[in-house]
Amino acid sequence: MDIISFDPSLRCTGIYYRVDDVEKSFTIQTHSSMDRMDVLAEHLDRIMQFLASFNKMTVKCIAVVEGYAYGIKNSRSMCQMAEVGGIVRGVLRYYRIPVIEIGPIVWKSIALGSHNVRAKKYTAKDKMMYHLLVAQKFGRRFETTDEADAYMMAWAFEQIIKGVSGLSPGAHDIRYRAEKIGVVTTNEQGVLKFV
């Protein structure tokens, strides 16, 4: 099964996908000098254009979208992220691509270990250390943390489906959702696999 994952935000949305044997990760970025509503409109237009072309590349796909970061203290930032995330989910639904939402704490604890999960904003030094940690663990380098996040969300989701032991409590809910919407099934040995 093909997979696409999104780390949605107002100005820089990270995207990773794997269709057949082709993998790609990138960001959709919007100029920061624009008014917030113009940024939102342009950013969403770019995301929708990408999804229209992506939908032609795949027949059966699952989308993994980062859930909301409820720990954000700035309610305006939370609302903006909710706008982008909600429209991404809506467009995916329009194209009949099933969506699995995975919270930031869940996927980060699976991909990086619970001791590397941070709920606050990253400083420049933190971002450098984050990129080093990702490069060491996955052997990949990314241009932005958003791009790295999108890749690791897809990876974490696949670990959940494989039934890797010792995952965070939220992993059970994600497995249940994946079974409920019919993108995975349990085989005779009780192991989940993509449909």
Number of domains the chain is built from: 1
Query: Pick from 169, 160, 172, 168: which is nearest to 62 by CA?
Result: 160
- Whole-number pLDDT of residue 71: 60
Which of 50-59, 65-74, 126-135 bottoms out in mean pLDDT, i.e. has the lowest? 65-74
Which pLDDT tens digit goes with each residue over 73-130?
656 666 777 788 888 898 898 888 999 998 888 888 888 776 556 555 567 777 788 8
| CATH number of the domain enclosing 23 | 3.30.420.10
- Whole-number pLDDT of residue 192: 58
Are the C-beta atoms of residues 150 and 107 closer than 8 Å to each other? no
Q: Which band of pLDDT confidence, cut at 50, 70 and 90, is reported for residue 184?
A: confident
- Whole-number pLDDT of residue 181: 82
Q: Which domain holds residue 71?
A: 2-194
Hey, which of 4-8, 101-105, 164-168, 175-179 has the most confident mean pLDDT? 4-8
Residue that is written with structure tokens 């903006």 in the block: 80
Mean pLDDT of 22-31: 89
Q: Which band of pLDDT confidence, cut at 50, 70 and 90, is reported for residue 18?
A: very high
Query: Pick from 26, 24, 25, 28: which is nearest to 9 by CA?
Result: 28
pTM: 0.83
